[in-house]
Amino acid sequence: MVKKICCIGAGYVGGPAMAVMAQKCPSIEVAVVDVSRPRIDAWNSDRLPVHEPGLYAVVRACRGRNLSFSSDVDRHVADADIVFVSVNTPTKSRGLGAGLAADLAYWESAARMVASAASRSATNGESKSKIVVEKSSVPVRTAEAMERILLAHGGGEGDDAAFHVVSNPEFFSEGTAMRDLLCPDRVLIGGRDRDAVRALVDVYAHWVPEDRIVTTTSLCSAELSKLAANAFLAQRVTSANAISALCEAVGADVSDVSRAVAMDRRVGGGAFLNAGVGFGGPGFHRDVLRLAYACDCNGLPEAAEYWRQVVAVNEYQKSRFVRRVVSSMFGTVAGKKVAVLGFAFKKGVADTRESPAVDVCRGLLGDRAHVSMYDPAVSEKQILRDTAGKVRVARDAYEAAEGAHGLCVLTEWEEFRTLDYRRIFDGMQRPAFVFDGRNVVDVGKLREIGFVVYSVGKPL
């Protein structure tokens, strides 16, 4: 019977995932630990370090009941029946596999922490076998590496092993983490030890219907499923984006094409078929490249090339957008004011990691445009950091557009659909251009007002 759960890593994944687990399993004590004291202090305060709608209410209800945040890593790891490892796995910036492979330094140190905490409790005669759950997004076969580290610390083998490693990748999206965690499409649990897998299934079964809990006996099938899921979604968006380029060339409308494609039941609906200025966010880019790297490392260059093309076409989509802005505005934006609406990688988040808006702004700045930016959620500090302080940050869309020659929509925030475009038009230079990178504006209406409108994948 699982009584205590500990999660190493109080980050973006660990925090929300454990909060929901604590809420749904009142009989289990859940401790989230991290070596960073400021991060733990933030989790214990009213200003959580992770912003997700609904997260604070759950944390507030469970904190002090069966959910705690602590920097006493050793104690909580030693006490736990299940240890989730949810630490950061950034992409390596140097050495073998730079830009492609994962930097597993935090991961390795977490594995060593688990091993030493467990061996200390064994010395005190409190030995019990632990389930170690890989939760971070990791390259295929990381769990095996974890097993090797644990076994090297005297973990035993087979049924007598002191540790059983299980892979349980996380699939929630930013901005909808709580909804996705409470009602997941599936929970995936991979591992060789049947009892360990069963124990984790029983935890999730507190709130997830059992037919949505998928188990595999192979650790690496579970690990690979995470990379593949993100890569498939990224590939879907990229397919729509590649079609959008052809739509513009032949005068077709990508929304019509996507809708018609999505109505085929085999395609499974219209999600992730919206063409735009390119996909962003930390997950897609990272996992497509990790998948390509895994193919390369296993002597599969053709498969690797297929996935690399997904990233290449995404880059193409962003540069194609910049080229469209520059060429429409008579071949140069030098000295012209360009308003940019939206900087986050998608609506509902303040995150700019891998945001296509960052690259588009760099392209415009490279052509010496004066960029004026507005995003409802991203802080001024973050915008300036991502653009080397080269843009002006406006308080709202109207201020950003005042006196501009062109206006680019780069995030699909709802409020951009309902702006007073007549007012914006009145404040802009002539001809007034709108470049809609997310297909949010009503093209017909804007053209009626007098704008010259370019929308991704729509007839010009």
Residues lying near ligand UGA in the complex (CB under 6 A) are found at: 137, 170-174, 230, 233, 237, 272-274, 276, 279-284, 345-346
Minimum distance between the CB of residue 235 and ligand UGA, rounded to whole angstroms? 11
Minimum distance between the CB of residue 272 and ligand UGA, rounded to whole angstroms? 4
> In the numeric block, which tokens belong to residue 122?
């064994």
CA distance 424 to 337: 14
CA distance 98 to 426: 49
Q: Which is nearer to ligand UGA, 271 or 334 (CB)?
A: 271
Q: Which is nearer to ligand UGA, 180 or 367 (CB)?
A: 180
Strand partners, 30: 5, 67
Write the DSSP string, 185-205.
S-EEEE-S-HHHHHHHHHHHT
Minimum distance between the CB of residue 432 and ligand UGA, rounded to whole angstroms? 26
Residue with nearest beta carbon to ligand UGA: 283
Q: Which residue ranges are tagged as binding site for substrate? A: 171-174, 226, 272-276, 280, 346
Minimum distance between the CB of residue 233 and ligand UGA, rounded to whole angstroms? 5
DSSP state of 158: G
User: At residue 30, what is the residue type?
Assistant: V
Minimum distance between the CB of residue 266 and ligand UGA, rounded to whole angstroms? 18
Closest CA to 55 of 7, 6, 17: 17
Closest CA to 443 of 253, 258, 259: 253
Q: Which is nearer to ligand UGA, 181 or 424 (CB)?
A: 181
Cβ pair 235, 292 in contact under 8 A:
no
Q: Which residue ranges are tagged as binding site for NAD(+)? A: 34, 39, 89, 174, 353
Minimum distance between the CB of residue 283 and ligand UGA, rounded to whole angstroms? 3
Q: Which is nearer to ligand UGA, 63 or 179 (CB)?
A: 179
CA distance 122 to 116: 10
CA distance 33 to 375: 33
Alpha-carbon dihedral sign for residues 83, 173, 237, 382: negative
Q: Which is nearer to ligand UGA, 174 or 223 (CB)?
A: 174
Angle at 155 between CA 151 and CA 160, to 5 degrees: 125
Cβ pair 369, 336 in contact under 8 A:
yes
User: Residue 391's CB: how many other CB atoms inside 10 A?
Assistant: 23
* Beta carbons within 8 Å of 125's beta carbon, 6+ residues apart: none
Q: Which is nearer to ligand UGA, 345 or 421 (CB)?
A: 345
Minimum distance between the CB of residue 353 and ligand UGA, rounded to whole angstroms? 9
User: At residue 300, what is the residue type?
Assistant: L
Q: Which is nearer to ligand UGA, 21 or 404 (CB)?
A: 21
Minimum distance between the CB of residue 141 and ligand UGA, rounded to whole angstroms? 18
Q: Which residue ranges are tagged as binding site? A: 34, 39, 89, 171-174, 226, 272-276, 280, 346, 353
CA distance 195 to 331: 66
Minimum distance between the CB of residue 413 and ligand UGA, rounded to whole angstroms? 11
Closest CA to 335 of 430, 410, 428, 404: 404
Strand partners, 130: 163
Q: Which is nearer to ligand UGA, 155 or 184 (CB)?
A: 184
Minimum distance between the CB of residue 19 and ligand UGA, rounded to whole angstroms? 17
Q: Which is nearer to ligand UGA, 52 or 147 (CB)?
A: 52
User: Residue 153's CB: how many other CB atoms inside 10 A?
Assistant: 16
Closest CA to 22 of 72, 76, 54, 65: 65
DSSP state of 407: E
User: At residue 381, what is the residue type?
Assistant: K
Q: Which is nearer to ligand UGA, 180 or 296 (CB)?
A: 180
